[in-house]
Chain A
Amino acid sequence: KAGVTQTPRYLIKTRGQQVTLSCSPISGHRSVSWYQQTPGQGLQFLFEYFSETQRNKGNFPGRFSGRQFSNSRSEMNVSTLELGDSALYLCASSQPSAPNEQFFGPGTRLTVL
């Protein structure tokens, strides 16, 4: 079974731009969660989607948004990028029978200049 895939793996943007990151979960997994990892704040939960609905949201500003498609693929969008948005963005998926055992993708490394 293929793992969680994320595209692109690396991205460089400038302040004020917007960015869209993509995540394809493991086949059969319907829940997709997004996390941000930075050296200062560690791994922080952004949001979770299940059956195309946002089920949970972390403490991030409204510039961070996401969506999930009918095939469970998910995208997250960050608008008006700030320098502090530079981070590793991780996507994780889980299956209904084991919802808390989340499997992570390799992440997208976003650098904001």
Chain B
Amino acid sequence: DQQVKQNSPSLSVQEGRISILNCDYTNSMFDYFLWYKKYPAEGPTFLISISSIKDKNEDGRFTVFLNKSAKHLSLHIVPSQPGDSAVYFCAASRPAAGNKLTFGGGTRVLVKP
């Protein structure tokens, strides 16, 4: 039972344009969401997070939007840069239940120069 899903396995975008990555979840008990970026042969790097009490969080080029009623979140990267080419994972957790993160399957982003 996949509780967190990233339905787009890959995304290709031109440098300077916006990258939009989507993530859906099924467990309404999740109340904290995170995005990680992963390069090959490295561990995931934390990018940005959002609590369920918010619907938007911004950090530089990265913005995460949360739609609780739709159980959907998205990550916007503006402007996209070639160094953003990586696999992006969304993750969800229930802080009251400890630090367990439930990950989506990942979206591979390719930013073309």
- Asked if B82 lies at the interface with its beta carbon under 8 angstroms from chain A, I say no
Q: Which residue of B lies closest to A47 (CB)?
A: B100
Contact B99 A102 (CB under 8 A): yes
CA A100 to CA B102, docked complex, whole Å: 11
The range of chain B's interface size is 20 to 34
- Judge whether A33 and B99 touch: CB under 8 Å: yes
Determine the chain B residues whose CB is within 8 A of the CB of A92 once the complex forms.
Answer: 43, 101
Contact check, A102 vs B101: say whether CB atoms are below 8 A apart. Answer: yes
Number of A-B contacts (CB under 8 A): 66
Q: Are A101 and B49 in contact (CB under 8 A)?
A: yes
**Contact of A107 with B103 at beta-carbon distance under 8 Å, contacts A100-B49, A100-B93 already known:** no
8 Å CB contact of A107 from B43, B97, B106 = B43
Residues of chain B having any CB pair with chain A under 8 Å: 32, 34, 36, 41-46, 49, 89, 91, 93, 95, 97-106
Q: Which residues of A contact B (CB under 8 A)?
A: 4, 31, 33, 35, 42-45, 48, 50, 55-56, 58, 90, 92, 94, 99-107
